[in-house]
Structure 1
Amino acid sequence: MSEKIAGKTFSTPEEAGVAPMNPDQIAEALRKIDEGKRIRDSFTPKQRKMMSPKFSDDLSDTEFEEAQKQRED
Structure 2
Amino acid sequence: MSAGFTGKIFRTAEEAEREGFTAPMADEIARAQRLFEEFQAKVDAVGPDRVKEVSPKFWGDTSGRETGISMDG
TM-score, with length taken from structure 1: 0.59
Identity among equivalent pairs (%):
18
Instruction: Specify whether residues 43 and 22 from structure 1 end up closer, same or farther in structure 2 by C-alpha distance, changes over 3 A only.
Output: same
| In structure 2, distance between residues paired with 1:72 and 1:46 | 28
Partner of 1:49: 52
Report SS of the residue matched to 1:34.
Answer: helix
Whether the 8 Å contact between 1:2 and 1:9 is mirrored in structure 2 is: no
Instruction: State the number of aligned residues.
Output: 66
Higher mean Cα deviation, 44-53 or 28-37? Answer: 44-53
User: 1:9: Cα distance to partner?
Assistant: 3.9
TM-score, with length taken from structure 2: 0.59
Q: Which runs of 5+ in 2 are unaligned?
A: none
Quick one: which amino acid aligns to residue 23 of structure 1?
Answer: A
Partner of 2:65: 59
Quick one: which amino acid aligns to residue 9 of structure 2?
Answer: F
Q: Which runs of 5+ in 1 are unaligned?
A: none
RMSD in angstroms over aligned alpha carbons? Answer: 3.0
